[in-house]
A = this chain, B = another copy of it.
Amino acid sequence: MTETAGETVRLSLDALRALAVQVLERHGCSAAMAGAVADNMTAAERDGAASHGVFRLKGHVDLLKGGVVNGRAEPVLSRPAPGAVRVDAGLGFAPLALALGLPALAEAAREQGVAALTLTRTVHFAALWPEVEALADQGLVALAFTSSPPNVVPAGGRVPVFGTNPMAFAWPRPDGPPLVWDQASAAMARGEIMLHARDGHTLPEGAGIDAEGRPTTDPKAVLDGGAQLAFGGYKGALVALMVDLLAGPLFGEVTSLECGAAATMGGPQPGGELILALDPVRLGGRSDGAEALLAAIAGQEGARLPGQRRFANRARSLAEGVDLPSVLHAEIEALAAG
């Protein structure tokens, strides 16, 4: 099932998922938790989003070993209001809580026109787009918001108060996969700044400030007492603020600031997630205008629709499997062994 090609190892998606399950179960996850997390990671690898793929198994194991996450948590669903589904994740990883909550959210959105799913006491250490894509696959429009330990400053300030605070959006399309985007409110992912520091590269303008609050393109200065900036200046910082409020205090969960310092490698702490689903059928929606708009974007030289590269990667991975760096593969094999 595996074949070695230079410094990479090719695995089918099934093999990759099985390996992730093995690692997660070995380190204390229930079969349900391991399966849900492995599904998310495999989806990320399948779509070429390696930074949310099995590279994160080590971080997951650290969170389990450190007792931050309960690998055997059993999420509990409640319905505090007709348009509100709530899942207490019991300090488990988000994908299992989502596996329970998303079907209930979809049903509520179809009943009510619009509905909200709130996850509490969860660790979201995964890609955010799978949950909105899953809803759009069922014909719903979806938005998702989650926060994380503070690394990003407000506009004009120098003390980090926001997480990288991603937001995701998905829109169903009649003849193909949905339109999906998922983007951090930070100008740049923290892991990417770490890679720039490691490789001695400078950052683009606008990614961060140094310990004195001055704009810098030196990744080490950002990581060493400096801070990250939001995308797009003060407007992006206000998006970060909105994400922070919607992903926590709106339903009783923590802000980024309350998350406290990250455990490891920008890893998360327990917190919340908000997902909104809207049913265009109940709201009187139409797809022709949307399709004309998307065609007018895709038809422009230099412009493209979000997610197109992911879907191309997906088609290839489903046919051919994915190539993992041999070093990473060896690390994962070691995690699976103990």
Q: Which residues of A contact B (CB under 8 A)?
A: 80-84, 86, 111-116, 118, 141, 143, 153-159, 161, 169, 171, 179, 181, 183, 187, 213, 231-233, 235-236, 238-239, 241-242, 244-246, 248-252, 254-258, 276, 278-280, 282-287, 289-290, 292-293, 296-297, 300-304, 306
Residue of B nearest to A85 (CB): B113
Residue in B156, B169, B248, B289 whose CB lies within 8 Å of A289: B248
Contact (Cβ within 8 A) A303 B113: no
A254 to B290, CA, bound (A): 8
A193 to B296, CA, bound (A): 25
Residue of B nearest to A81 (CB): B113
Q: Which residues of chain B come closer than 8 Å to A287, judged between CB atoms?
A: 249
Contact (Cβ within 8 A) A80 B161: no
Contact (Cβ within 8 A) A113 B84: yes
A112-B82, A113-B81, A231-B232 are contacts. A242–B280 as well, Cβ < 8 Å?
no
A238 to B258, CA, bound (A): 29
Output the least CB separation between A242 and chain B (Å). 5
A213-B302, A289-B258, A290-B255 are contacts. A83–B181 as well, Cβ < 8 Å?
no
**13 residue pairs from A and B, CB less than 8 Å apart:** A81-B114, A116-B283, A118-B284, A154-B303, A156-B300, A157-B300, A179-B245, A183-B235, A187-B232, A236-B236, A245-B290, A249-B290, A250-B280
